[in-house]
Amino acid sequence: MTKAFRWLWFAATAAVLANGFRIAMYVVPEDVNQGEISRILYYHVPSWSGMGTFFALNLLCSVAYLAFRNSRSALADKADALAVASAEMGVVYCLIGMVTGSLWGRAAWGIWWTWDARLTTTLVLWLIYVAYLLLRRFTGGAQMKTLSAVMAIFGFADVPIVYMSTRWWRTQHPAPVFFGGPNSGLDPSMLPALFWNLAGWLMWGVFVVSLRYSAERRHQRAEQQAAAAALEAA
Amino acid sequence: MKRPYFLLHLLKDLRLEWRSRDAINAMLFFALLVVVIFSLAFDPTRSVARQISGPVLCVAILFAAVSALNQAWARELRHAVLDAQRMTPAPASSLFLGKVLANFLFVSVIELILAPLFTIFYNLHPLGNAWLLLVAVPLGTWAILINGTFFAALSIRSRNRELLLPLILFPIFMPALLGMVLAISAVLSGETDPMLWIKMLAGYDVIFTTISLLMFEIVLHAED
């Protein structure tokens, strides 16, 4: 049942993504000032919204894990599996966002990277969540779930501070290359391409997260069975 | 009169350190090495000295603190002291606060010794209001130690804790590093006003002190 639903979901995702590609590349007009390179926006923006969604989900699951870990451990385990799946997905989206942004920056600004507030914040955010995943890898057992949930809360609390600090940093030393990115409003004729890709990439993220979630659940069950078997043998 | 628990923890840590002086000696020499290494790598001639001395000082303190923080909790693991701490009626946050205060005092001692050395090595005379350094540097140090002590406790039971601590501390610490470096540079160069960064550091300290104190109990009892 789940398997059939997952295949259906995958097919729908592929269809939406294909249509999104068609509209973004062939239907909507190119940008007046930037030309064809502006079309990368339709992949850049969805990756940011995907990143925001999954990092927020990670925080939610981490808090849920801490709240339920003693009273309802089965629910807490599910929350932990979803937390790791969404953190990994968020890191992937963050990386895609930085790479697409970098490609656009090379064409529009002539440089791959600039230490502007938004870019720096994103990089630090990416580093925080990679650290979170490393912590999960380096610690073991039940305490790993608790510790990583604590780390997730720390990381999320840090994000607004990083953003404010880098913004103040850069307003004091303005970077000459950065003037009004693509965010100064989008022509309505381009919106369909954005919406199709937003939907498609979010669906793709949900698909991958569901796969990763069930893999993590299976891993948890295997660990529990091994622990039970060891107890019986003793 | 009964002394508060965190004071007892602080006094115990100070007494332990006074007997061995391991952490202070190691940190002091390590920080000195970082300063010398950076000086050799960057060749601090007079004009650049003012620009790079603030960052070098911050990075030296950060690295020195990390090298000592790994030991701060490892000391408690011997003879299962940490397990005993877990069973005491004292709140977990007071154990944490005592440890942070002790480490803060150790690092402050290092800074007091390094400051004159720094002035000589880099030929510094601050152009801004030098007294503000007495606010900016302790605030930045507190930012390192509140998070560093917390994450050291968090990574103590991992497979390779010495490796893990900097990996999880540095990303979280980055905004505070930015604030500390820019506040020090502003005071040294006298070109901009460091108050914005001092306020930001204060905000960072308040936020993370609160979160750490609230969550330390979860970390201490993570194995249960």
**Is B223 strand, coil or helix?**
coil
Provide the ipTM.
0.85
Gap between the Cα atoms of B197 and B173, Å rounded: 14
- Of B104, B97, B103, B95, the C-alpha closest to B76 is B95
Q: Do A155 and B172 touch (CB under 8 A)?
A: yes
What does R_g of chain A's alpha carbons equal in angstroms? 21
CA-nearest residue to B164 within chain A is: A135
Q: Do B154 and A151 touch (CB under 8 A)?
A: yes
Q: Do B157 and A139 touch (CB under 8 A)?
A: yes
pTM of the predicted protein model? 0.86
Interface test with B, best of A125, A158, A159 (most B CBs within 10 A): A158
CA-nearest residue to B168 within chain A is: A131
Interface residue A159 vs chain B (CB under 8 A): no
**Contacting residues of B for A141, CB less than 8 Å apart:** 223
CA dihedral B27, B32, B36, B37 (to 10 degrees): 0
Domain with B107, as residue range(s), is: 5-220
Length of chain B: 224
Q: How many domains in chain B?
A: 1
Residue A26 DSSP one-character state:
I
Backbone dihedral angles phi then psi of residue A216, each to the nearest 5 degrees: -65, -40
Cβ(A228)–Cβ(A116) below 8 Å: no
Query: How do residues B160-182 score in pLDDT, each as one tens digit?
Result: 778 888 999 999 999 899 899 98
CA B44 vs CA B55, B123, B182, B183: distances in Å: 13, 9, 18, 20
Question: Helices (DSSP H) in A73-190: which residue ranges?
Answer: 73-108, 117-138, 141-172
> Over its length of 234 residues, how does chain A's per-residue pLDDT go in tens digits?
788 888 999 999 999 988 888 888 888 777 766 777 778 888 888 888 888 899 999 999 999 999 998 888 888 889 999 999 999 999 999 999 999 888 888 887 788 888 877 788 889 899 999 999 998 888 877 788 888 999 999 988 888 888 888 777 776 554 444 444 444 556 677 788 888 888 989 999 999 999 999 999 999 899 889 989 998 887
Tokens of A181: 């990115």
Gap between the Cα atoms of A16 and A46, Å rounded: 13
Show which of residues 175-234 on chain A sit within 8 Å of chain B, judged by CB atoms: none
